[in-house]
Amino acid sequence: MDKNRSIVDFTTFKFLYKKYKELTVPLIVFVVCTILLFTVIAPQFKGIIDLSKGAKESERNLAVLKNNFDLLSSLNEETLDSWLRTVNVALPSSKDFFSIINAISYTSLATGIKVGDFQVSIGELSDEESGESGGKLSSISMNLSVAGDAQDANRFIEALYTTLPLSEVTGVNTGNTSSEILLNFYYKSLPPTKVSGVSRIDPILSDDLALINNLAQFNFVGDFDQLQSLFEAETSSNELSSETVEEF
């Protein structure tokens, strides 16, 4: 039975082959070409598209790097360092209590107004301090007592406003012999640096540059020796003035 069936199948296949012989070869060629298209040509075509995209991306990155290089080449390194120091002094990246005390001491010497007791709100070591706050503006609150009336307090505030680090007066309580000043000293923690790929460096705007140059004109006491020199100069000046008055 199986033998007869095999003979019938072979005969049928032979008959069909002879009848459709002209279509067999094109059909085989079509099948082979289809297989080659999906297994060989299509991946190559996709690779060409990916290379084209990569070439365009490389051209864009090269243009960004060239612009960055031209911008950095046009800037003076010493000038950049000076700008950076000015900005860091004006708005520290952490709670700089030393600079705050120096600013208050300098203002007291410059105005001749004595500073009494003061209270500082230190706060907690939070995300602002650890650099994870995304660069939010933070402040240190201070309650400061100065000798003098409202006019003296106003002179002290005006001098403090032109002394770094930056501060803001939030309230004033004046009296006949002493005044209380409520103020905030600001600082801004640096956000985490995240660099992915090639980033464009933006030039410093004219308004920002004007602000930096303005801050550079503010008073700043960098260390204790400088503050002591100012104190000695102020003392000598006062003694000289007293001697002049006595002579007259």
Domain boundaries, the chain: 1-73, 80-192+204-247
Token duo for residue 37: 């298209």
Can you give the pLDDT at residue 28?
73
pTM of the model: 0.64
The number of beta carbons lying within 10 Å of the beta carbon of residue 95 is 20
Alpha helices (runs of H) in 116-203, residue ranges in sequence order: 127-130, 150-161
Predicted local confidence at residue 119, as pLDDT: 80
Q: What is the mean pLDDT of each run of 10 residues along the chain (248 residues)?
A: 54 66 69 73 72 80 85 84 88 86 88 84 55 64 89 91 90 89 87 70 85 88 62 52 38
Q: What confidence score (pLDDT) does residue 238 get?
A: 46
In the prediction, which pLDDT does 49 show? 76
Q: Which CATH class is domain 80-192+204-247?
A: alpha beta
Q: Determine the Cα–Cα distance for residues 232 and 137; give it in Å rounded to an integer.
A: 36
At residue 35, the pLDDT reads: 77
